[in-house]
Structure 1
Amino acid sequence: ASVLSERVSLSSKSFSDGVYSEDHLDVFAEANLADDVLVESGDASKQLLFDESSYKELEGEDGYKGAEEEEEIDDIQFPFSVEALDRGELPIYREPTSTEDNDIPPVPQVTGCRTHGQVALTYSEGPSDATAKIVRQLNNAQVRSNFFINTTWLYTQQYAMVVQNMYNAGHLIGMTYRAPKHEDGSSYTDSEIRQDVINSARMIESLIQVAPKYVRLHYSNQEDTRTENIINDLGFILVDYNLDSMDYLHKTGPEIQNVYRKAFVRQKDTYDAKGSFISIQYDIPGSGSLAAVPYIIQTIEEEGYTAVRMDGCLNDAKPYKASADSLEYVNDKFSFNTTGYKQGQKPAAIITNSMDENNQEFYAEEEEEGDDFFESKANVSFGILVTTVFIAFSGTVVQYI
């Protein structure tokens, strides 16, 4: 269960009490479901948020079906535990205990909203040519979303303008961060990482006049607790997710819509109550994020959920930092508890399947091996995604918001 142990905590008490067996762990690990698990905090017995029926559904007549049957397992995502529901609480933090470096404790990461029935749509690793189109669709549906910016792309003026435009449209701006390495492959020191984080946040601050408060770490199999603690000490809040749209596997709107729909239905069937979700999409060429926007919004509406920004998700009236190196939090005219804060959605009409076809044509590129952008996610090759990311970012045609 090595994959699972890198991402999720299970106390020894959970095993001794028979909550979950080694067989359960083997199944979850083999299915690469670690990112979809939220662990309840504040309780001596931390439990995986899967019940026995979920485990049974992974089995066929000949036993466990295997991770290759992705459609059978991609929707197994629960936002909170039965105990938390009984108490009327939503544990919103993931607190893993098994990490890459046992000497450095992990930092809790936000994985859910404080209010039942909320969905915070988050987009990571942009901006790209796809981002402006995604934002336009969100604006048309009156949805305010959350964008975790990869500042690598902000050296290009077109993408810097996209960030400014999405901020001015009322979307929340966060930051995606990946600890760099020296040219010789050696790791940065703590002080170097600290300065790099500040410099990255300053790039965003220079565009929107406030610094991001919410940070998401670039995906990695191994949890970098050293970087987590440095970021936390600088006053940033780490954000994870509990609903993976799998837009890196699925390229059409209906496929990704099905991931959402199954998650909502399973939540209701299991707990007879709405959950709270932080979903993740990747606003980069090659993912299905652009094609999925109207389908996701339609499903959120049909299932009785409300789309929110991260500040509404957490009831946070000050969702930014005064400056990149400051510990002071501030608000702006769009923040939670201001007259400019908006939540909810107004689904726009879905224009047949031509949207998906056009999206596929726009992103079609020759497959080749690339960087480790989505390292080992669901045992799939992400060469296509990585290739198209760099092709798109090197182009000159950008569609503005």
Structure 2
Amino acid sequence: MPNGTPLWDMPRLRPGAVPYGQAIFTCANPGQIALAFDDGPSNWTTYIIEELDRHNIKGTFFITGNNPKRGRRIDDETSEWPGLLREMHSKGHQLASHTWTHKRLEQIGRDAVFAEMMYNEMAFRNVLGLVPTYMRPPYGVWWDGEVRTDLDTLGYHIIMYNVDTKDYEHDDRDAIQASVDIFNGAVSADGNGMYIVLVHDVHEWTARTLLPAMLRTIAERGYKAVTVGECLNDQGANWYRDPAARN
């Protein structure tokens, strides 16, 4: 559990026109692609940020606060993660929630769902002094009615995707070409499609091969890569809440 008190008293206002408590699968604007990375931060996140920076592109990162595969919480100040998240935020990348420990929300019950979301909020507060309003459910499970009700109660935009690169199945020097092919096959050649892309910043070959390939396709086909918030026409001020506010 992160340090500090839970944020039960934080006002959960709902600014902007993007729906809360509903699954969103695609961008609102033709010609835009949102690259949305799950499960990090990891040792490959810095590599990915550097690649995005070289192209002056902002990504969206759905953060798992206490990923068992990583071993240390994002708010552990003795680790590299708080500094990395602050750098990402300062550069304009969008940081969002992917729960505390990446559990299947439809299987754990309401109290545990609230804990998964609340603990991640506390960790975000401890690191950034902000709490995200955007989340992506682990394993892409959005259709459970009770889970959607809980996420709506907490005031979250539920972000899904309409392009799944399946990079989690192809993290290998040769196999990753399958994910490149999926992306290239899904993105229309006319430059007028609208896509939210599922990709992960915890895989070596996503960082080394898939991301550069996606960026080439985006440029060659005339798309603009943006954050999820931007592709939904949501102002940056609406992407986060102030945990210091009180009802």
Alignment TM-score > 0.5, same fold: yes
| CA distance in 1 between partners of 2:245 and 2:145 (Å) | 22
1:257 maps to which residue? 180
Higher Cα radius of gyration: 1
What is the match of residue 93 of structure 2? 171
| Residue of structure 2 in register with 1:43 after alignment | none
Alignment of 1:96-111 (within 5 A): 107-111=21-25
Partner Cα distance (2:115, 2:216) in 1: 42
Moved more, 151-160 or 141-150: 151-160
Higher relative contact order (CA 8 A, sep 6+): 2
**1:201–1:212 Cα contact (<8 Å) kept:** yes
CA deviations over 1:172-204 (Å, ceiling 9, x no partner):
0011024579xxxx944x345324412211211
Q: Give the match for residue 151 of structure 1.
A: 65
Matched-pair contact (CA < 8 Å) for 2:75–2:127: no
Give the secondary-structure state (helix, strand or coil) at the position aligned to 1:129.
coil
CA distance in structure 2 between the aligned counterparts of 1:171 and 1:220, rounded to whole angstroms:
22
CA contact under 8 A between 2:168 and 2:203: conserved in structure 1?
no
SS at match of 1:293: helix
Aligned mate of 1:161, from 83, 87, 109: 83
Residues 327/121 of structure 1: CA separation in 2 closer, same or farther (3 Å cut) = farther
Deviations 1:324-355 (A, max 9, x none): 59799xxxxxxxxxxxxxxxxxxxxxxxxxxx
Structure 1 residue 314 displacement after superposition? 0.6
Offset at residue 297 of structure 1 (A): 0.6
TM-score normalized by structure 1? 0.48
Q: Deviations over 1:301-337 (max 9, x none)?
A: 1011110111210110133232359799xxxxxxxxx
Cα distance in 2, alignment partners of residues 222 and 305 from structure 1: 28
**Native 8 Å contact 1:193 1:227 kept in 2:** yes
Q: How does 1:307-318 map to 2 (within 5 A)?
A: 307-317=225-235, 318=237
Q: Work out the CA distance in 1 between the residues paired with 2:200 and 2:127.
A: 21
1:203 aligned residue: 123
* Aligned counterpart for 1:135 among listed residues 49, 60, 70: 49
Q: CA RMSD in A?
A: 2.9
Conservation of the 8 A alpha-carbon contact between 1:198 and 1:324: no
Which residue of structure 2 lines up, in the alignment, with residue 40 of structure 1?
A: none
Q: Deviation at 1:221? A: 6.3
Q: Relative to 1, partners in 2 of residues 1:179 and 1:323: Cα closer, same or farther, differing over 3 Å?
A: farther
Q: Which runs of 5+ in 2 are unaligned?
A: 1-17, 67-72
Distance in 2 (CA, whole Å) between partners of 1:154 and 1:260 is 30
Q: Is the 8 A contact 2:164 2:197 kept in 1?
A: yes
Post-superposition offset of 1:113? 0.8
Identify unmatched segments of 5+ residues in structure 1.
1-91, 94-106, 329-401
| Residue 322 (str. 1) matches residue 241 (str. 2) | yes
Residue in 1 that maps onto 2:193: 275
